[in-house]
Amino acid sequence: MKPPLRIGIIGLGGYAGAHHENLQKLEAQGHARLVCTCDPRAATFAAEQPNRDFARRGVQVFTDYRSMLDACGHELDMLVIPTPISLHAEMHRASVERGIAAYLEKPPTLDYRELEQMIVTDRAAKKTTLVGFNFIIERARLALKQRLLNGDFGPLREARLIAQWPRPASYFARNNWAGRLLAPDGGVVLDSCFGNAMAHFVHNLLFWAGPSTLMSWGQPETVRAELYRAHRIEGADTFFVESRTQEGVTLRFALTHACDGESQHAETVVCEKATLHYIVGKRVEIRWHDGRVEPVALDAFDALAENHLDYYRYIRGETDRPATTLVDSRPFVTLNNLAYISSGEITALPTDAVRSVIHPRDAQSYLAVEGLPNVLNDFLSQGRWPGTTLGWRTGAPSTLVTRADLPRFMPTLHALASR
Ligand SMILES: NC(=O)c1ccc[n+]([C@@H]2O[C@H](COP(=O)([O-])OP(=O)(O)OC[C@H]3O[C@@H](n4cnc5c(N)ncnc54)[C@H](O)[C@@H]3O)[C@@H](O)[C@H]2O)c1
């Protein structure tokens, strides 16, 4: 057995808590050892999380990540950064400057300009940073992408995604950046189902459209989007987005947190000879256009453990690259930013269609929009925009934008935030 990788985790709560749980498991299996952790609210978490067992495990706990890196950085092989998105860039830089491999939670940033700076920073990294998009390394996904590239299904025409994940009111109060466009200091936050909770699936869609090699992502050439909100938030909770990649593949996706019931998500990849139906965590099948249905085995997949172990292999020199790098995240961040520019407004959904539901599962309060599931499906299958067909938009129709429009990103955000 190889010596365990020595790891630091910034943060103790939120998704950092999931990394801690995962690491306790990997530590017990001998893969890794937690050396240090930190959180400005470390004392609160110490009381709430006695099962972390830091004293027995010899884990040093700090309230500031810089003090932690000053004290323990020389001992670390890897630093996990599962913190608020607006802190990613500075924490990533601190990791690279100390020669520590960074496991940076997705999204790396939601500001295309900051991403370019992070890419430059990463060129000096001893080990290329991993961006923690969870589902790229699924075996079934990699095998299907390879078959796609081999031409088994004929040319790729379209990739579609629908995702409806209900989120209760408390979700939008979970921290001081939830549902926000900008931080109080003017930094870009852009928290939304697109940028945060469902980011994995949008990145997956771009992965299907990656034209050249297995680990390639489609580059959005044109983007059109409509953004809506049902919740009383600054940002959007519902997205309709269509993009054409440089290779002429149409990507269309509809995402919402303004729903109730069970969470649903599905990726559909339409090729000339077959359509792939991929539902993460549930089912994958190939529906050949001659009528045959080919089921695809979907292995049990513990996303955090698998992604940690995959990155450990890269750090140890056993593989030649991390699953998703900062450069690979460019299409995702560009697509996200262009969606805001294209829409130019975040429209309140018609109030008479929005109803409040208490779900018996958790006794929490959800907002759901009457008829929205049909509207999402109509958009996905027929490209029907609710702004024009249902008159949902209050302003002019959204516009088709390209990368050349990116300089309008900050003025657009400021205009949206001031409304
Ligand atoms: N991969 C996934 O499936 C997944 C799921 C959820 C969240 N995320 C990502 O994880 C990241 C964190 O999201 P979150 O909702 O947990 O955020 P959060 O606001 O709950 O923050 C996470 C932790 O960071 C701590 N923190 C805040 N400021 C800090 C600082 N200056 N120094 C050290 N620690 C600090 C917080 O106290 C908290 O414990 C985001 O990038 C998010 O998109 C990923």
The CATH number that applies at residue 403 is 3.30.360.10
The pTM assigned to this predicted structure is: 0.98
Backbone angles phi, psi at 361, to 5 degrees: -60, -45
pLDDT 10s digits, 365-375: 999 999 999 99
Q: Using a 6 Å cutoff on CB, does residue 110 contact ligand 1?
A: no
What is the residue range of 67's domain?
A: 5-132
Structure confidence at residue 224 (pLDDT):
98
Are both 18 and 115 inside the same structural domain? yes
| Structure confidence at residue 186 as a pLDDT band (50, 70, 90) | confident
Cα 394 from chain centroid? 29
Are both 120 and 207 inside the same structural domain? no
pLDDT over 90 (residue 419): no
Cα 320 from chain centroid? 23
How does the average pLDDT of the chain come out, rounded?
A: 97
Structure confidence at residue 137 (pLDDT):
98
Mean pLDDT for 125-154 is 98
Report which ligand 1 atom has the smallest distance to the Cα of 88. 41
Q: Using a 6 Å cutoff on CB, does residue 344 contact ligand 1?
A: no
Assess if residue 395 is contained within a domain.
yes
CB-based burial, 95-134: b 16+ in 10 Å, e otherwise: bbeeebbbbbbbbbbbbbebbeebbebbeebebbbbbbbb
Are both 368 and 259 inside the same structural domain? yes
Give the whole-number percent of the chain exceeding pLDDT 70: 100
Rounded to whole angstroms, how far apart are CA atoms 141 and 146?
A: 9
Look up residue 42 and give its amino acid.
A
Rounded to whole angstroms, how far apart are CA atoms 338 and 413?
A: 11
Q: Give the closest residue (by CA) to ligand 1 atom 38.
A: 13
Are both 117 and 195 inside the same structural domain? no
Give the whole-number percent of the chain exceeding pLDDT 90: 95
Structure confidence at residue 94 (pLDDT):
98
What three-state secondary structure class fits 156?
strand
Assess if residue 313 is contained within a domain.
no
Are both 122 and 187 inside the same structural domain? no
The runs of H, that is alpha helices, within 295-343 are 303-315, 330-343
Structure confidence at residue 185 (pLDDT):
84
Look up residue 197 and give its amino acid.
A
DSSP state of 182: B
Are both 24 and 158 inside the same structural domain? no
| Structure confidence at residue 1 as a pLDDT band (50, 70, 90) | confident
Assess if residue 200 is contained within a domain.
yes
Structure confidence at residue 273 (pLDDT):
98
pLDDT 10s digits, 31-66: 999 999 999 999 999 888 889 999 999 999 999 999
Q: Give the closest residue (by CA) to ligand 1 atom 12.
A: 83
| Structure confidence at residue 360 as a pLDDT band (50, 70, 90) | confident
Mean pLDDT for 106-110 is 98
The CATH number that applies at residue 40 is 3.40.50.720
Q: Using a 6 Å cutoff on CB, does residue 171 contact ligand 1?
A: no
Domain end among 97, 132, 167: 132
Q: Is the dihedral of CA 232, 233, 237, 242 positive or negative?
A: positive
Rounded to whole angstroms, how far apart are CA atoms 243 and 249?
A: 8
Rounded to whole angstroms, how far apart are CA atoms 392 and 349?
A: 7
**How far lies 10's CA from each of 65, 103, 106, 114, in Å?**
7, 11, 14, 20
Structure confidence at residue 50 (pLDDT):
87
Place of tokens 């990294």: 125
Structure confidence at residue 361 (pLDDT):
87
Are both 171 and 201 inside the same structural domain? yes
Domain end among 102, 132, 162: 132
pLDDT over 90 (residue 112): yes
Cα 19 from chain centroid? 16
pLDDT 10s digits, 396-406: 999 999 999 99
pLDDT 10s digits, 215-234: 999 999 999 999 999 999 99
Q: Using a 6 Å cutoff on CB, does residue 39 contact ligand 1?
A: yes
Assess if residue 20 is contained within a domain.
yes
Are both 165 and 118 inside the same structural domain? no
Mean pLDDT for 290-303 is 97
Q: How many A from CA of 199 to the centre of ligand 1?
A: 15
